[in-house]
Amino acid sequence: MLIQERLYTAKDLADMPDDGKQYELHNGVLIEVAGSKYQQTRLAIWIAYLLTRFIMEHKLGGAITGADGTFELNPYNTRIPDVGYLSAARAAQQDDNRYPVGAPDLAIEVVSPSNSPREMQERAGEYLAAGALLIWIVNAQTKTVDVYQPGGQRDVFSLTTDGAVLSGYAVLPGLSLSLNELFAPFESKAE
């Protein structure tokens, strides 16, 4: 087991030479993160498309980030959500030459086969502690979305529940995304 010489900060991470790998900081410890599998990355980009379309149609502004967008939750912790959304006001406060500071307003994680339910709940808690207003944990295998909000509220939406619809709440007012639309491109095995 390799032990780091010291704890790293988000600034240290940003200043490291690019070695072609992706890293997150977990309490100052540098962790290499694996890329997403085929289904998960396709689902993440589909969600990013649906959100971008909604934001443009409703002229909400803001910024959407993808699966390489690192967020500085605090000086010793970074996370890379599969999709992130920053409101127009929060996006305007960010420096284009550094990681976005704080959690995205909406953080979306697409569950990989190697992720445990506990790990995903911990990620949701980390985003909430850093100021996220809404978290979606999307599971392509079970066709469910766990929605977390400040105050510990958790709702689970399932494709098997007739009419299951995700809301944008105060983060994306007016967003009403059916799970049928969310998972539709992934229903057929003959792609």
Domains (range + CATH), the chain: 36-186 (3.90.1570.10)
Going by their DSSP bridges, the two strands 144-149 and 153-158 should be labelled as antiparallel
pLDDT tens for the chain, 191 residues long, are 567 788 999 999 999 999 999 999 999 999 999 888 888 999 999 999 999 999 999 999 999 999 889 999 999 999 999 999 999 999 999 999 999 999 999 999 999 988 999 999 999 999 999 999 999 999 999 999 999 999 989 999 998 876 799 999 999 999 999 999 999 887 755 44
Read off the DSSP letter of residue 79.
Answer: E
Which stretch of DSSP H or E encloses residue 91? helix 88-92
Paired residues of 50 in beta bridges: none
Structure tokens at 17: 């030479």
Structure tokens at 166: 């995700």
pLDDT of residue 38: 83
Q: How far apart are CA 40 and CA 14, in angstroms?
A: 26
pTM of the predicted protein model: 0.92
Q: How far apart are CA 67 and CA 182, in angstroms?
A: 18
Structure tokens at 137: 């944990």
